[in-house]
Amino acid sequence: MALPKVRQVRARVVRGAGADYHDQDRGHWIDDHIATPMSKYPEYRDSRRSFGLNVLGTLVVEVEADDGTVGFGVTTAGEPGAFIVERHLARFVEGAVPSDVERIWDQMFHASLFYGRKGLVLNAISAVDLALWDLLGKLRDEPVYALLGGQVRDELTFYATGARPDLAKDMGFIGGKMPLQHGPAEGERGLAAGVARLAEMRERVGDDFWLMYDAWMSLDLDYAVRLTHAAHEHGLKWIEEALPPDDYWGYAELRRAVPPGMLVTTGEHEATRWGFRMLLEMGCADILQPDVNWCGGITELIKISALADAHGALVVPHGSSVYSYHFVSTRHNSPFAEFLMMHPQASEVVPMFTPLLLDEPVPVGGRLRLPERPGFGVRLNPECRLERPYTHEETT
Ligand SMILES: C[C@H](O)[C@H](O)[C@@H](O)[C@@H](O)C(=O)O
Ligand SMILES: [Mg+2]
């Protein structure tokens, strides 16, 4: 049966959590003195909002087929992303057959190569790609995991990211990843405080629960090596995103220098198969963590995952709700997933992209069986007031 073609692409935006999950009110653990590359400036040390981590907001891309079926995808891109989708990318999607995801992706990427390659443009491309996969699932009445070749495991297992790994253990997660709160700008006292916090958490959770640190690009090589060796006695399982994403050389050096058995992970701010090829071929990481809303979408993540598999590397996508869960459930080299605790105190499980999506599944007891619903199986919350800042009819 011939699929209906795409009639219209719409890019809408909304503020306040959602896909831009860093866009939270004050007092949320995710904005509480977390080490960043801006921590060298005291005025920007206490809050990531202060230097603009929440500046973009959520972008929702809808693709509507001739028969009225609508698929949608989300990302962190806000109004700039809406402009890119409406005024540039839409022309490669409207009139196309929704199953032509390879051709559409290739045209979106190469047409924007002169100003894209990674970052905001790849976020926008990702949202369009996710919308197409959602639409395809709805047109074929199949969940995205079925379109991807089917699940290799019936149940997903999660570690939790948040300020309270001790509570995450009580909730049944297999591990807890904490944001590192002090970087080189806070000297030896900051390093000691980070080790002390890890030691205290290890005391609370016991020896058989994973504990990780996420450094969010904030360290230099020397500090990262010293931190990992100081943390080793408390069983740090991995150090995540220790260095800025482009420092492939530093990651390769760090991976050679960390204590035996400790893992080095990164990738959430990397994009495309070429970026992940660099991480793999330079030996930068044991676990790659692409974000499917930022790396190029499902169509690109398939390529990244296969490349990683050939290198014997695990792919554990950065938390991105159903968009990563459907993928993880179909890949042998994605044995577990990340769940980002979006409750302000990380003390209870709430949907990651709340309040943007309805029917967004969450782990129970640290585990999740994906519901068998078409596409990604979620709906937009009509109470979220989405706005369409740009249109493109006038540009065609
Ligand atoms: C918790 C981290 O600081 C980031 O906020 C988080 O988005 C990301 O790095 C993660 O791995 O979950
Ligand atoms: Mg991270």
Tens digits of residue pLDDT in 19-50: 999 999 889 999 999 999 999 999 999 999 99
Q: Give the CA dihedral 296, 52, 216, 343, nearest 10 degrees.
A: -90
Q: What tens digit of pLDDT does each residue of 345-375 get?
A: 999 999 999 999 999 999 999 999 999 999 9
16 pLDDT above the threshold of 90: no
pLDDT at 395: 53
15 and 88 fall within a common domain: yes
- Ligand 1 atom closest to the Cα of residue 162 is 1
Pocket test for ligand 1, best of 210, 289, 340, 342 (most atoms within 8 A of CB): 340
303 within domain boundaries: yes
Q: What whole-number percentage of the chain has pLDDT above 90?
A: 98
Q: What tens digit of pLDDT does each residue of 125-147 get?
A: 999 999 999 999 999 999 999 99
Helix (H) or strand (E) holding 14: strand 6-14
- Which segments are annotated as binding site? 22, 48, 214, 240, 268, 338
Nearest bound ligand to the CA of residue 181: 1
319 ligand 1 Cβ < 6 A: yes
82 and 182 fall within a common domain: no
316 ligand 1 Cβ < 6 A: no
227 and 356 fall within a common domain: yes
- Which residues, 6+ apart, have CB-to-CB distance to 281 below 8 Å? none
- pTM metric for this prediction: 0.98
- Which residues, 6+ apart, have CB-to-CB distance to 287 below 8 Å? 238, 263, 265, 313, 314, 315, 316
- Ligand 1 atom closest to the Cα of residue 161 is 12
51 CB burial (10 A radius; 0-12, 13-18, 19+): middle
176 and 322 fall within a common domain: yes
Q: What tens digit of pLDDT does each residue of 85-95 get?
A: 999 999 999 99
Nearest bound ligand to the CA of residue 240: 2
Ligand 1 atom 11: residue of nearest CA: 318
320 and 233 fall within a common domain: yes
ipTM, two decimals: 0.99
27 within domain boundaries: no
176 ligand 1 Cβ < 6 A: no
Look up the CATH number of the domain holding residue 229: 3.20.20.120
- Ligand 1 atom closest to the Cα of residue 180 is 3
| 34 Cα: distance to centroid of ligand 1 (angstroms) | 10
Number of domains making up the chain: 2
- Which segments are annotated as binding site for Mg(2+)? 214, 240, 268
Q: What whole-number percentage of the chain has pLDDT above 70?
A: 99
229 is catalytic: no
341 pLDDT above the threshold of 80: yes
Look up the CATH number of the domain holding residue 96: 3.30.390.10
Strand 58-65 versus strand 379-380 pairing type: unpaired
187 and 312 fall within a common domain: yes
79 within domain boundaries: yes
36 within domain boundaries: no
pLDDT at 394: 58
- Which among 318, 326, 343, 392 is annotated as catalytic? 318
190 and 275 fall within a common domain: yes
pLDDT at 52: 97
Ligand 1 atom 9: residue of nearest CA: 216
Ligand 1 atom 3: residue of nearest CA: 179
Confidence of residue 1 (pLDDT cuts 50, 70, 90): confident
| 214 Cα: distance to centroid of ligand 1 (angstroms) | 7
392 within domain boundaries: no
138 and 179 fall within a common domain: no
pLDDT at 113: 98
393 within domain boundaries: no
340 ligand 1 Cβ < 6 A: yes
Confidence of residue 216 (pLDDT cuts 50, 70, 90): very high
256 and 359 fall within a common domain: yes
The domain of 204 spans 147-373
322 and 201 fall within a common domain: yes
